[in-house]
Amino acid sequence: MIFPSTLFGYIGRQFLLWFFASFAVILGVVFLGDLVELMRRAAGLQGVTVEILAQMALLKLPFNAQEVMPFAVLIGSILALRQMTKNQELVIARAAGVSVWQFLAPAVVAAFVIGVTGVTLFNPIAARMQRDYTQDDNRILRKIGDSPLLTTKGLWLRQRDASGVEAIIHGNRESGAAVILDNATFLFFDDHEQVIRRIDAQRALLDDERWMLWNAWDWRPSDHASKPAAQLSIPSDLTTQKIEQSFASPETISFWALPGFIDLLERSGFSAQRHRLYFDSLLARPFLLCSMVLIAAIFSLRMRRRGGTTTMLVGGIASGFILYFLSDVAFALGSSATIPVVLAAWTPAGVSTLLGATILLHLEDG
């Protein structure tokens, strides 16, 4: 039997209606939760108003929207299928010879399109706003400086010693486990942001909370001349682990820019495990949303007349939290390189799809 286009469109519209309604409600709750948390963190800080915190919560909202989208698809699918079941629309469709796979197809297609659109079009916007939120969070609430910056023109670092002297460091990093910079430049600033010292070194090595410099030229404004030094030692609060952890988080990098940044990290000798895992999880996102529709169908198509709604909602929400826990576990294992990146990124979508399809086959065709 050919699936009627009118019925396909009707089911698709019902799914989209309930999805966007659920999405809006969830985002509203998340926004309020973030705002309350920011207000708690800002308690006692001077000059931090509610308006500033609300702007920060709004900056974080697009990233949160990506994270809650699978839950919105799950709950929206449950409510849409429940409503059509309650109105006997799916019963009539079954009587007309439409199988469960056919009337789920519009929702699956819509979920896939939402996933692709979210990853390719919405993600770059969310990444930019998340980057702005991170900068505001560091500047306003954490009171720390900017993160290290890795570009094709070298590595930029910032450090501050115990006396409050700040240093900007730039150089070309050599590949390897240690942080070694060629043609390194150290600029030291006082509290008034005036340059008080500059060191140009042919080679710099970060070792045991200090920089070891070779073949350097040391310049101070008071001397009006550079002095050569075969070797210098500069105290530092940086370590290789701190530098790697302080690089731009994958959530602040656009889907389209992630492959290039991953390549840059690996060419520079840093680990790109987190970024590669996040990129693969974005690739799996459309399939994860499709699997949510199958999971929702398990809890919606076979409701009992009494108590069915409560059972359906509890079961659906519980399955969503179980999936979220599974995703976190897989992501943690992938980040620590315990399991391959591909396995960690695709496990939630794969397990959900197989589970949903298997149970539906058993209920409907078995």
End-to-end CA distance of the chain: 20
* pLDDT tens by residue, 9-65: 999 999 999 999 999 999 999 999 999 999 999 988 888 999 999 999 999 999 999
Q: What is the residue-level pLDDT of the chain in tens, covering all 366 positions? A: 556 788 889 999 999 999 999 999 999 999 999 999 999 999 888 889 999 999 999 999 999 999 999 999 999 999 998 888 888 888 888 888 888 888 899 999 999 999 999 999 999 999 999 999 998 998 888 876 556 666 767 788 888 777 777 888 888 887 666 788 999 999 998 877 888 899 999 999 988 778 999 999 999 887 777 889 999 999 887 877 777 666 778 999 999 999 988 887 787 667 888 899 999 999 999 999 999 999 998 888 765 444 556 666 777 778 878 888 888 888 888 888 888 999 999 999 999 999 888 988 887 764
CB 174 within 8 A of CB 180: yes
Count Cβ atoms below 10 Å from residue 40 Cβ, excluding itself.
8
Residue/partner pairs of 352-359 with CB below 8 Å, 24 or more apart? 352/288, 352/291, 352/292, 352/294, 352/295, 352/323, 353/287, 353/290, 353/291, 353/294, 355/294, 355/295, 356/291, 356/293, 356/294, 356/295, 356/297, 356/298, 357/294, 359/298
* pLDDT tens by residue, 155-167: 888 887 777 778 8
As to burial, measured by CB atoms within 10 angstroms (0-12 exposed, 13-18 middle, 19+ buried), residue 114 is buried
C-alpha atoms less than 13 angstroms from C-alpha of 212 in its C-beta half-sphere: 7
The structural domains of the chain, with segments of one domain joined by +, span 5-143+270-365, 150-245
> Residue 306 is which amino acid?
R
CB 77 within 8 A of CB 292: yes
